[in-house]
């Protein structure tokens, strides 16, 4: 069976050749990250790097390696005006006359590296009409203005999942040819589900509305929902969202009373917006308790948000509990 490769797909679907080249550049650097991961301890990429990122989180060695690989690849493209990474304190200038701004989480779920579990690279592409040196203010665009978003999942197989604003497609990496080949042309999320993903160890710290919602799911067929639910948790957003895109479900990372001044754990620009656009383009919903995440006007590049995404009917019910 002949399958379309990523380059051919972008030639016919990307709105410009420069955007196509940008995505191909991310695909290319993902092969190098795949090779880094595949060697594990043999490549000396396990363990901590001995520093913290701007979020105050311990950086893993491969966080730093992946960040440098992606930053170098994107900075080489004349079309890229600026870059923002979860691992960088400030935005990074590239080409003053470039047309794109790129935000990325170089290695989502990096705490899984040392146990040989799934991790991924998440990216988002925005437009820019700025002049001179790039500024953080240019990046502060609502998620609905993204030109493209996607992720690379490093699992048993390596997959690139992409939206250009007209649906969601999945590509699988074929090691023999070194190509990403189209394996799912129309990703769709069912409105209802029987599976959810949340870190239950934090339940006692959630808002009462979230506790009520999850509590009803846990009651199963004997409770008000009248059906049984399964729970899954990979501890990597990229893997949990991938499962939802493949077979439906719900993902939540809510506000936590231990840090009441912090809106949530996940980053708006690097995680919630790109994953949110993918989910919405596949027919799902992505919300914070007070509304659609893609409509949020960002206030700063490392802003955090609570996240509820996946099956549209379940997201709507959870949000309704918070607003009622």
What's the maximum distance between 2 C-alpha atoms anywhere in the chain? 62
**Per-residue pLDDT at 21 exceeds 60:** yes
The predicted model gives 240-256 an average pLDDT of 97
The pLDDT of residue 48 is 63
Cβ–Cβ under 8 Å, residues 83 and 74: yes
With cut-offs at 50, 70 and 90, classify the pLDDT of residue 111: confident
Structure tokens at 315: 């997201």
This prediction has a pTM of 0.94
**Per-residue pLDDT at 52 exceeds 90:** no
**Per-residue pLDDT at 290 exceeds 70:** yes
The pLDDT of residue 2 is 84
User: Among 48-62, 89-103, 289-303, whose mean pLDDT is lowest?
Assistant: 48-62
**Per-residue pLDDT at 61 exceeds 90:** no
Measured CA to CA, the distance from residue 227 to residue 219 in angstroms comes to 9
- Domains of the chain are 6-184 (3.30.540.10), 195-323 (3.40.190.80)
pLDDT digits (tens, 9 = 90+) for 209-235: 999 999 999 999 999 999 999 999 999
The predicted model gives 54-72 an average pLDDT of 81
Q: Read off the DSSP letter of residue 123.
A: E
Measured CA to CA, the distance from residue 50 to residue 64 in angstroms comes to 10
The pLDDT of residue 282 is 98
The predicted model gives 102-110 an average pLDDT of 94
CA 8 to chain centre: 24
The predicted model gives 239-266 an average pLDDT of 96
Measured CA to CA, the distance from residue 27 to residue 29 in angstroms comes to 6
The pLDDT of residue 112 is 85
């Amino acid at each position: 069976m002949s399958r379309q490769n990523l380059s051919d797909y972008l030639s016919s679907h990307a709105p410009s050749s420069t955007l196509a080249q940008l995505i191909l550049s991310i695909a290319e650097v993902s092969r190098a990250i795949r090779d880094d991961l595949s060697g594990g301890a043999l490549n000396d990429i396990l363990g901590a790097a001995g520093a913290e990122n701007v979020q105050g989180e311990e950086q893993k060695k491969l966080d730093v390696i992946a960040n440098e690989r992606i930053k170098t690849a994107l900075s080489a493209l004349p079309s890229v005006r600026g870059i923002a990474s979860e691992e960088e304190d400030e935005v990074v200038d590239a080409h003053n006359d470039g047309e794109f701004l790129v935000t990325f989480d170089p290695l989502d779920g990096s705490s899984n590296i040392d146990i040989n579990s799934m991790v991924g690279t998440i990216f988002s592409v925005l437009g820019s009409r700025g002049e001179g040196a790039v500024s953080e203010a240019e990046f502060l665009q609502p998620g609905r203005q993204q030109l493209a978003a996607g992720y690379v999942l490093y699992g048993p197989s390596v997959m690139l999942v992409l939206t250009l604003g007209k649906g969601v497609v999945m590509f699988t990496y074929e090691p023999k040819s070194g190509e990403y080949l189209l394996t799912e042309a129309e990703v769709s999320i069912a409105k209802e589900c029987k599976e959810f993903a949340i870190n239950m160890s934090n339940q006692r710290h959630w808002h009462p509305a979230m506790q009520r919602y999850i509590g009803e799911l846990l009651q199963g067929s004997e409770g008000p929902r009248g059906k049984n639910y399964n729970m899954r948790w990979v501890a990597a957003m990229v893997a949990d969202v991938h499962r939802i895109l493949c077979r439906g479900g719900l993902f939540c990372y809510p506000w936590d009373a231990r840090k009441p001044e912090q809106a949530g754990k996940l980053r708006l620009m690097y995680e919630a917006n790109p994953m949110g656009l993918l989910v919405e383009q596949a027919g799902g919903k992505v919300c914070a308790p007070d509304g659609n995440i893609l409509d949020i006007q960002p206030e700063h590049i490392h802003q955090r948000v609570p996240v509820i995404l996946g099956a549209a009917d379940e997201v709507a019910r959870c949000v309704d509990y918070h607003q009622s």
